[in-house]
Amino acid sequence: MQTTIVRYKVKADRAGENVALVKNVFKTLEAESPVGLHYVSFQLEDGRSFLHIAVLDDGVSVNPLPRNAAFKKFAAEIKDRCVEPPVAESGDIVGNYRMIV
């Protein structure tokens, strides 16, 4: 499995916009149902920080997220919405209880 974790913090007046864009990504993912992608996004307690975790099943060589139209729209102006830009890191799953299939 390939895991990518992204964290960033948006400007106070852009948090609602960011939430709407993220929800639209999930709406299109539900409609398109890309195979081998597991994706979750969190709005953290401060209301401005976000955490996204994407996991690709073994054998999936191309991440479908960057090809998703709603994701492209979300990502297009992400730096303008942020006070702390996105930082992406790869990671290995150490434990998983019913979160990722």
Between CA 86 and CA 29, with CA 66 as vertex, the angle to 5 degrees is 105
The answer to whether the predicted template modeling score (pTM) of the entire model surpasses 0.75 is: yes
Whether 100 has a pLDDT exceeding 80, the answer reads no
23-75 per-position pLDDT tens digit: 999 999 999 999 999 999 999 999 999 999 999 999 998 999 999 999 999 99
Decide if 98 is inside a domain. no
Domain count, the chain: 1
Pick from 9, 99, 95, 98: nearest CA to 54:
99
Residue 101 lies in a domain: no
Q: Is residue 99 part of a domain?
A: no
Amino acid 101: pLDDT: 61
Report residue 98's pLDDT band, with 50, 70 and 90 as the boundaries.
confident
Query: Which CATH number covers residue 22?
Result: 3.30.70.100
**97 in any annotated domain:** no
- Identify the domain containing residue 79 by its residue range: 2-91
Residue 81 lies in a domain: yes
